[in-house]
Structure 1
Amino acid sequence: MTEIDFVPSAYTADREEGSVTWQAPSNIALIKYWGKRGNQIPANPSLSFTLNKCLTTTTVSYKKLSSRSDNFSFDLLFDDLPKEDFKPKIKSFFVKIEEYMPFLKDYHFLINTSNTFPHSSGIASSASGMAALALCLMDIERVLNLSADEDFFKRKASFLARLGSGSACRSIDGEIITWGIHKAIATSSDLYAVKYSDEVHKVFKNYRDTILLVHKGQKQVSSTLGHNLMHNHPFAAQRFNQAHENLVKLKSVLASGDLEGFVAIVEQEALTLHAMMMTSSPYFVLMMPNTLKIINAIWDFRKASKTHLCFTLDAGANVHLLYPKNEAAEVLQFIKDELVVYCENGQYICDEIGIGAKKL
């Protein structure tokens, strides 16, 4: 599909007002997307686990204006309170998607959103947030254009979410998602994410992700700035090639249930992401002392326990602990005994692979 396929023809129905609510999950990339070009096009393909409990719930209430506006008309609430500093990002999103959602200037929208996890702390709140908003808008468009089928609905929602936040396109569906063209994945696209359809061993069907909240505050550098630092980065070409190669390796690992291979690829991807930030210009260190203490403790525990606990990181200090369900009791005890001390206010989130967004 191309961008033109997401431009609707004339709408076949009308609606004066209504309300819709969607809940969308965050996701955690195993193969990291870092660097983009053009209009939110990834510089390399990525693969992610969809989460189940780290969620954004968004309600969009809409009422038709007496006449089409020259501007976008909306109010924004976060946890039921006005959130003016979020509005510029939503307006920018509306500008980007107006061509594909031409009804936007016909309505006033009240957007009310909330998270089950801390905003702006490296747990991809923009991913779940933009995914939930895109799904609400798609639901409104489905009312206006009754011919949209389910596959197209998800594909366009992913396409729209990507324009708000790249990784948001991976938060529409579950359980394993890929985004970005890769020769080994026939259905892959740069424009939207697709459900991973290759063989997956049963051990990966119910994987766990416990997120250690090392730092819950604002990230040191925004993801947008971080991605832009890949332009003219001295190691960018090698990194993009590595991502392609690691995705091929991970396909084999997922099919065979090779847990040791999974650990090696996932941790290398996490550390490479941070290495790219540390070697950019300007450079940033996003990990904190407690992040490194957790990583070293994981390595020691894995060696001693013979479990398959591993870590991954987004562009921040928090640590995602990934492990199979049958090792959960031992890992959770390890977290309580040794890792919780490194978490801000002793906080962590126990999550697992999820099936994607749902309408409420």
Structure 2
Amino acid sequence: MTESDFISTQPYTLLEEGEVKAQCSSNIALIKYWGKYEPQLPANPSISYTLTDSYTQTTVHFKKTHEFAVHVFLESVEQEEFSKKIKKYLSSIQKYIPFVENYEYTIHTHNSFPHSSGIASSASGFGAIAQCMMEISKKLGETMTEEYKIQKASFLARLGSGSACRSLYKGLAVWGRHPEIPESSDLYAVPYPFEIHPDFTTFQDTVLLIHEGVKEVSSTVGHGLMNNHPYAEARFNEAVKNLSELSVILQNGDLDAFGRLVEHEALTLHAMMMTSQPAFILMKTGTVAAIEKIWKFRKETKTHLFFTLDAGANLHLLYPEKEKGLISSFIKNDLVKYTENGNIILDKVLF
């Protein structure tokens, strides 16, 4: 599929008003995307787990108008800055959704997880909005297959938040061209196409909320600092290689190799931040202390407890469901103390 395939040429019948709803989960990347080109294209391929219980629910009411407007309510409270951001986003996709500026939109959105908690709300949020726009397209008369509908929703979500394109799929999703992933694309995500070892279909994800505030450096700024990064090219090449290695691991069920690679990816992401110009550090002392505890626990117990991080301080703890008992006790007794307010989020992958 190319960009032109997502430019709608079908006639629309504008309704006076209507309402659509969507729910979209967040995701956690295993191979990290860090660095991008315009318009929101990844500098390297990535793969993520889609989560089950961390999601955004969005309702969009649209009403025909002569003055395009957007009103966003988060948890029933109108958000002026979000409204401006979503209005700008909707205007930017008019090329692909021609009717978009014929309506006034009232958007109510709810997250199942706390804001600024280490769960990517932009991924689930833009994923849900993109799904809603495709539902409106159907209501106005556009005919499409289910496969095309989800591909275009992924394409549209990417233009709002890069990682959002992966949230449109259950299980594992790949975004970015990779020579060993059939149909992979920089324009949208695709479901991981190979059979996965059963151990990887029941992974748990417990998030340690080590820092619950807003990040000191936004992901947008962080991506931009990769443009002239001295190690950028090496990093992009390594991500391609690591995705090849992870693909084999996911199929053969090597849990130890999975942990080594996923943790290396997480630490590499933060190494890129610490070696950019200017440099910045998003991990906190609690992050480092918890990592050291995890390494010690794993060495002593031979359990398969691993961690990953996105661009922030909070740790995602990944482990197979069959080892949940011992690991849950360790988290409660030894790791919760590193969280800011004793808070954790319990989740699992969505298959």
Normalised TM-score (structure 1)? 0.96
Contact 1:126–1:165 (CA under 8 A) maintained in structure 2: yes
Q: What residue is the counterpart of 1:126 in the other structure?
A: 122
Match of 1:235 among 222, 228, 231: 231
Q: 1:200: how far off?
A: 0.6
- Pair 1:3-2:3 in alignment: yes
Name the CA distance, whole Å, in 2 between partners of 1:216 and 1:5: 41
Query: What SS does the aligned partner of 1:344 have?
Result: coil
* Residues 264-315 of structure 1: CA deviation (Å, up to 9, x unaligned): 1100000000000000011110000000011000000101111010000000
Q: 1:12: how far off?
A: 4.2
Structure 2 unaligned regions, length at least 5: none
Q: What residue is the counterpart of 1:32 in the other structure?
A: 32
Query: Superposition pairs for residues 197-276 of structure 1, below 5 Å?
Result: 197-276=193-272
Q: What residue is the counterpart of 2:132 in the other structure?
A: 136
Name the CA distance, whole Å, in 1 between partners of 2:278 and 2:9: 45
Contact 2:70–2:84 (CA under 8 A) maintained in structure 1: no
- Pair 1:161-2:157 in alignment: yes
- Pair 1:307-2:303 in alignment: yes
Query: What SS does the aligned partner of 1:181 have?
Result: coil
Moved beyond 4 Å, runs of 4+: none
Name the CA distance, whole Å, in 2 between partners of 1:95 and 1:221: 27
Name the CA distance, whole Å, in 1 between partners of 2:117 and 2:328: 22
* Residues 124-158 of structure 1: CA deviation (Å, up to 9, x unaligned): 11000000111111100111134111000000000
Contact 1:121–1:316 (CA under 8 A) maintained in structure 2: no
Q: 1:105: how far off?
A: 1.1
Query: What SS does the aligned partner of 1:199 have?
Result: coil
Query: Superposition pairs for residues 49-68 of structure 1, below 5 Å?
Result: 49-65=49-65, 67=66
Contact 2:118–2:207 (CA under 8 A) maintained in structure 1: no
Percent identical pairs in the alignment equals: 53
Query: Superposition pairs for residues 273-288 of structure 1, below 5 Å?
Result: 273-288=269-284
Name the CA distance, whole Å, in 1 between partners of 2:336 and 2:288: 14
- Pair 1:328-2:324 in alignment: yes
* Residues 13-53 of structure 1: CA deviation (Å, up to 9, x unaligned): 33221111111111000000000011000000000000011
The one-letter amino acid paired with 2:62 is Y
Structure 1 unaligned regions, length at least 5: 356-360
Contact 1:176–1:195 (CA under 8 A) maintained in structure 2: yes
Normalised TM-score (structure 2)? 0.98
Q: 1:199: how far off?
A: 2.0
Contact 1:13–1:146 (CA under 8 A) maintained in structure 2: no
Q: What residue is the counterpart of 1:43 in the other structure?
A: 43
Q: What residue is the counterpart of 1:188 in the other structure?
A: 184
Contact 1:47–1:179 (CA under 8 A) maintained in structure 2: yes
- Pair 1:114-2:110 in alignment: yes
Name the CA distance, whole Å, in 1 between partners of 2:110 and 2:199: 32
Q: 1:75: how far off?
A: 0.9
Q: 1:85: how far off?
A: 1.9
Contact 1:127–1:169 (CA under 8 A) maintained in structure 2: yes
* Residues 172-226 of structure 1: CA deviation (Å, up to 9, x unaligned): 1111000000000111000000000112101001111101111111111111111
Q: What residue is the counterpart of 1:358 in the other structure?
A: none
Query: Superposition pairs for residues 288-307 of structure 1, below 5 Å?
Result: 288-307=284-303
- Pair 1:176-2:186 in alignment: no
Relative contact order, higher structure (CA 8 A, sep 6+): 1
| Aligned residue pair count | 351
Q: 1:118: how far off?
A: 2.1
Query: What SS does the aligned partner of 2:341 have?
Result: helix
Name the CA distance, whole Å, in 2 between partners of 1:29 and 1:175: 12
Name the CA distance, whole Å, in 1 between partners of 2:216 and 2:61: 34
Name the CA distance, whole Å, in 2 between partners of 1:213 and 1:296: 17
